[in-house]
Amino acid sequence: MEAFPIPSDTYKLGFIGAGKMAESIARGVVGSGLLPPSRICTSHSNPIRVDAFESFGVTVLPRNDDVVEDSDVVIFSVKPQVVKKVVSQLKPLLSKKKLLVSVAAGTKLKDLELILEEPMQPVSTAFAFQNSVDE
């Protein structure tokens, strides 16, 4: 599979799942200066989660589809019991031009690859694990 380069000076980061794990990662990315908040997005309907992300400048979009369409790097940060459903719903929007990262607890890279390969255009996937979340 041919990988497509993601330009480091313009790429956009999107979070599928706007919980505390995603918030912690996004705050770290912004706080470290890796990306400005204007290049990060997520989606959520809960006003508390919307406020949490908007408080440091992250764009909150109306739908997960919008996040995938607007992002070069997509981080799946959803509860383990909904990973398959969420990834399956977004599968038509995923392509090898997107880098997919999962921080979903208990989800193996192989699980994501199985969901994405039936039938699907090739995608780039990565797995990440974070031990703790700052409160």
Gap between the Cα atoms of 56 and 78, Å rounded: 21
Residue 122 confidence (pLDDT): 43
| Torsion sign (Cα): 110, 112, 118, 119 | negative
69 found inside a domain? yes
Its domain, for residue 60, covers 13-127
Residue 6 falls inside a structural domain: no
Task: Kindly state whether residue 1 falls inside one of the protein's structural domains.
Answer: no
pLDDT in tens, the chain (135 residues): 455 566 677 899 999 999 999 999 999 999 999 999 999 999 999 999 999 999 999 999 999 999 999 999 999 999 989 999 999 999 999 877 888 888 888 877 777 778 887 444 445 555 555 444 444
The dihedrals phi and psi of 5, each to the nearest 5 degrees, come to: -70, 145
In a domain, 104, yes or no: yes
- Tell me, what CATH number does 49's domain have? 3.40.50.720
Nearest to 46 by CA among 59, 62, 31, 32: 62
User: Does residue 43 lie in a domain region?
Assistant: yes
How many structural domains is the chain composed of?
1
Residue 135 lies in a domain: no
Q: Is residue 7 part of a domain?
A: no
Distance of alpha carbon 102 from alpha carbon 134, whole angstroms: 18
User: Is residue 132 included in any domain, yes or no?
Assistant: no
Half-sphere exposure of 42 (CA within 13 A, CB side): 30
